[in-house]
Amino acid sequence: MATLESYDTEADWLAARTTGIGASEAAAVLGLSPWKSPLELWAEKAGLVEAPTEEREAIRWGKLIQPLLVKEYARETGRATIEHPAYALYRDATRPWLLATPDALTWRAEPDRLEVPGVVEVKNVTAYKADAWVSEPPLLYQVQVQQQLAVLGYDWGSLAALIGGNTFRWVDVAANADFQEVLILKLEAFWLSVQRESPPPADGSDRTREILAKLYPKPEPGVEVALPPESAAWGQRLTEIEAVLKATGSEKSTLENQLRAAIGAAEIGVAPDGTRWSHKLIERAAEMVPRPATSFRQLRRLKARA
């Protein structure tokens, strides 16, 4: 069972969200989020850095269009559907750090059960991400729904998306008890790491590099620290990778120059296997900043002809 908590202001609601892990944050814990790394989320929950207050434009538009998408979901499905109240969240009764804020609640009829409640998540998706919704919704959104179902104790939910501004799709998602069990264990371990001030391992994402720069903006002069035992293996592997990159980079440059020389003054070169290469002239005008006009030839592989 879950309890519903309501707050008067967005600030109070955001403060409440720092006391646990929301469903939209679960993907970050699992390393599935393109917008936040596990270490970044950990630093925010530990109070070491402030969560970004400036909304990305896509998020702002998502909030503005959300009521319309909920209405469209209700129209297409014929199900009774209501938006989740603003500045409210569900908190798991036995795991108070486990939170959920679904976009909407809905009800559907099933054999021998007149109205079975479920959660609804709506997404405003760019046309560039349409392929990710062809067979099934992206995994990070399925994770979000599974956490909400675990908190509310519901058997099903729906994911709906407006794709490219003109295509609406929705799909029902059944609760997966086995997945929820594994998910909750991982989320619990993450929350314990927050409480114990023990950060998760750093990954290779740009988000992690950026949060490390915020956590440690300046070195302490003269301070020396003993690195963990595994750091010797890190350094050795890094040396090996750098050597491989240096060798492959040199080979890449050689192969590119051989192609440039073979194309010569032509604009297009065609290999015996039909592969086509272009070596076009790229011209850039001078800009307002102190940067002169430039021109250069760009080598690239062309798409195969149909």
Give CA–CA dist 90/217, Å, rounded: 37
The answer to whether residue 180 scores a pLDDT higher than 90 is: yes
For 57-88, write each residue's pLDDT tens digit. 767 777 788 999 999 999 999 999 999 998 99
Q: Contact 100/88 with Cβ under 8 angstroms?
A: no
For 102-145, write each residue's pLDDT tens digit. 999 999 887 776 689 999 999 998 888 888 888 889 999 999 99
Give CA–CA dist 205/195, Å, rounded: 24
For 196-233, write each residue's pLDDT tens digit. 999 999 999 999 999 998 898 888 888 888 989 999 99
The answer to whether residue 42 scores a pLDDT higher than 80 is: yes
More confident residue, 187 or 283: 187
- Tell me which amino acid residue 271 is: A
Percentage of the chain beyond pLDDT 70 is: 91
The answer to whether residue 304 scores a pLDDT higher than 80 is: no
Give CA–CA dist 33/25, Å, rounded: 8
Backbone angles phi, psi at 135, to 5 degrees: -90, -40
SS3 of the chain: CEEEEECCCHHHHHHHHCCCECHHHHHHHCCCCCCCCHHHHHHHHCCCCCCCCCCCHHHHHHHHHHHHHHHHHHHHHCCEEEECCCCEEEEECCCCCEEECCCEEEEEEECCEEEEEEEEEEEEECHHHHHHHCCCCCHHHHHHHHHHHHHHCCCEEEEEEEECCCEEEEEEEECCHHHHHHHHHHHHHHHHHHHCCCCCCCCCCHHHHHHHHHHCCCCCCCCCCCCCCCHHHHHHHHHHHHHHHHHHHHHHHHHHHHHHHHHCCCCEEECCCCCEEEEEEEEECCECCCECCEEEEEEEECCCCC
The answer to whether residue 287 scores a pLDDT higher than 70 is: no
Q: How high does pLDDT run on average in the chain? A: 89
Give CA–CA dist 38/190, Å, rounded: 9
Percentage of the chain beyond pLDDT 90 is: 63
The answer to whether residue 52 scores a pLDDT higher than 90 is: no
C-alpha 134, offset from chain centre:
18
For 96-113, write each residue's pLDDT tens digit. 999 999 999 999 887 776
Backbone angles phi, psi at 71, to 5 degrees: -65, -40
